[in-house]
Structure 1
């Protein structure tokens, strides 16, 4: 019988895979843990940020839908979830624009062009009170 330079049991490719699999597993697990830690730190920073009230105009609104699905091959089940993130962009009197994550369900209560006082906490918008005087100035 001829020998092709590898043993059918325990040689060559098997040795490479037995080395690579733990490394790949650790890297993927590390990425998942780092993502959880990063999101937790960002949440804590926003939660602990002081709230400040600023006069601004709402210049745009957008939503981002995040889809996740998983397939279970053994029992032929499929599950999927989605989550929608809402963002509101404000323009301040100095012309600066900044986008904030809507954490208090303001998205449906405000419209582009509304002016008023926004309550900001870190990267979040937590309240918006319209100012009727300045809202109507541009309408005429």
Structure 2
């Protein structure tokens, strides 16, 4: 029994450590890629909004706490018909409505802002 645990534990540890390192490297590469991109402003329409609520549990010395995190995403359609989904803060998310037209500012996959067009026109 000890020999099996002595073999399985290191394998599980290496796999988990590998996953953590992979996720960190992927995040750093995306951050770097975004920094290399120009900041663009284009005419766009808000076509959909969604949230992703993730629940998590924190184990403390004598108790356990349960919490959640909410992530906010908006899909924009530009004049060419291409669509892009960008993550943003809850405050920005709340200010946008499906069907809004305006000028979207972004850098790679990084949302920078949306200036709503208050006229009745589209693009």
Q: Secondary structure, in 3 states, of the residue corresponding to 2:24?
A: helix
Match of 1:59 in 2: 47
Q: Structure 1 residue 116 and structure 2 residue 102: aligned?
A: yes
Distance in 1 (CA, whole Å) between partners of 2:75 and 2:107 is 14
Distance in 2 (CA, whole Å) between partners of 1:35 and 1:17 is 27
- The structure whose RCO (Cα within 8 Å, separation 6+) is larger is 2
Distance in 2 (CA, whole Å) between partners of 1:71 and 1:104 is 27
Question: Given that residues 40 and 107 in structure 2 are in contact (C-alpha distance below 8 angstroms), is that contact kept between their aligned partners in structure 1?
Answer: yes
TM-score, structure 2 as length reference: 0.84
Unmatched segments (≥5 aa) in structure 2: none
Shift of 1:57: 0.6
Aligned length: 122
Unmatched segments (≥5 aa) in structure 1: 1-12
Question: Given that residues 103 and 126 in structure 1 are in contact (C-alpha distance below 8 angstroms), is that contact kept between their aligned partners in structure 2?
Answer: no
Match of 2:19 in 1: 31
Query: How is 1:1-140 mapped onto 2 (pairs within 5 angstroms)?
Result: 13-72=1-60, 75-103=61-89, 105-133=91-119, 136-137=120-121
**Runs (4+) of structure 1 moved beyond 6 Å?**
none
Distance in 1 (CA, whole Å) between partners of 2:32 and 2:89 is 14
Question: Given that residues 72 and 90 in structure 2 are in contact (C-alpha distance below 8 angstroms), is that contact kept between their aligned partners in structure 1?
Answer: no
Q: CA RMSD in A?
A: 2.1
TM-score, structure 1 as length reference: 0.75
CA 1:78 to 1:17, structure 2 compared with 1: closer, same or farther past 3 Å? same
> By percentage of residues, which structure has more strand?
2
